[in-house]
Amino acid sequence: MLYEASLNGNVESLNELLQQDRLTLARVSLTCFNETPLHIAAMQGHVEFAKALLSHKPDLVTELDSHGRSPLHLASANGYIEIVKLLLAADTCACTIRDEDGRTPLHLAAMKGRVEIVTELAHARQEVTRFMLDRGETVLHLCVVYNRLEALKVLVGMGTMADCVNVKDDAGNTILHIATMLKQVETVKHLLRTTIVKVNELNGNSITALDIIQYMPRDLKAVEICELLVKAGGVMDKTIPASRTTTATTTTEQCLAVLVTQPSSVTTEAPISAQPPQQILDSRLKHLRAQDHQLNRKYESLMVVATLIAAMAFQAGLSPPGGLWQEDKVDPVTQEVHEAGKSILADRWPVLYKWFCVSNTVSFIASLSIIFLLVSGLPTKKRVVLWILTTAMWVTITSTTLAYVYSVEVISPMDKSMITVLVSSVYTWMGVIGIVLLGHTYRFVIWIIRMVRKRRNKTQDQDQDQDQV
């Protein structure tokens, strides 16, 4: 009955229950419910009911639900300003309570963009504005990640938060780094115009905000942000003295933290209202890990296939089609001497045996080359190595196919029409494989041309800069 009254915000029912049993509210902590009546009132926005509860049991303000949240957490997240003021008047210490994720009511209010509530909470206990989350994010980081510009303006405008604009999270990113990577033009404008943000601050990967936007996909937002940073004195990391840089190990997580080392993974921008930016970053990290896992599985499969083909080629070389002579024998017609252990195919069809040996040997050597490249520790993610592996596998498959054709032609009692059909089918299939290889080769050549042009343009730019100096 008490919780039903809480859901409806019925103060009269609450008073009746308390008249019947004055210990009703005291027994709340003994129930199996996850929330107290004050939690429910805070979620529903029942101001009068919350007043009645606090008048009888003020310590409900600091009671926690099953997720470690106080009633102030719920009221702040839902935007009920009157209940927030009521709870703060009862006990301002509720501002400092963290839930199971380490978030205070101020963090939740900032994430939801509750500007009035952010103002109330920040003024109630100013030290809570400096509380950090597990990854080192401040409340300003949350405002930028969830694109809450108005809440950011309120917090930055407070005198106690002026120096927090340059605080870094565990990845070394300031709020300017994050606003840049999320292409929040208005946020970048506000930070550069009204704060003392350090434009050339380095993050965990020793790069600046200008570096981030230079590697992002080019669009109107990227161009505008780039112009804003340059006008504010932004430079790229190569022009910063070495004494200011720090050594950082490049990992998939760090690359994702700046979204610059994998520009191809950023193709579209999801609306902020549809998915929080932090979830976007986490999804990109998950995508990169999945790509790494898939690539590793491909290399493992390639190793198995190459090993199997090498074993097949080795066995075919020792036991060629048609078998071996089992004993020394002299042909009564041609008087040719056949030595034991020699290939019968070599004596009967020497030209065909020659082409079989060539195809089988090429297949064997190509498969061994693939195995060597995979176990040699070369950077297999490089385009050059990938192209070499693709070419080697094409040579291996083609040579194995030719060896198969020559073997079938020897051991199968087929007429010329059947042999023609077999050979035509195999060569057609090899042509399709060749087209695929040409496609990969074309892309590889285009990539080389782009790299050469890029280096040439870079050299010309450096020469021009030197001439200007």
Do 26 and 59 touch, CB atoms closer than 8 A?
Answer: no
Question: Quick one: CA torsion of 127, 129, 131, 132, rounded to 10 degrees?
Answer: -160
Number of helices (H), then strands (E), in the chain: 20, 2
pTM of the model: 0.52
- Asked whether the predicted pLDDT for residue 376 surpasses 60, the reply is yes
- Asked whether the predicted pLDDT for residue 422 surpasses 90, the reply is no
pLDDT of residue 320: 81
Segment 400-419 mean pLDDT: 73
- At 318-336, the pLDDT tens digits run 778 777 777 777 666 665 6
How would residue 4 be classed by pLDDT, with cut points 50, 70 and 90?
A: confident
- Between 99 and 458, whose confidence is greater? 99
* CA distance to 187, 280, 427, per residue, from 287 (Å): 27, 10, 39
pLDDT of residue 414: 60
Residue carrying the six token digits 């003295």: 241
Average pLDDT, the chain: 78
Do 10 and 37 touch, CB atoms closer than 8 A?
Answer: no
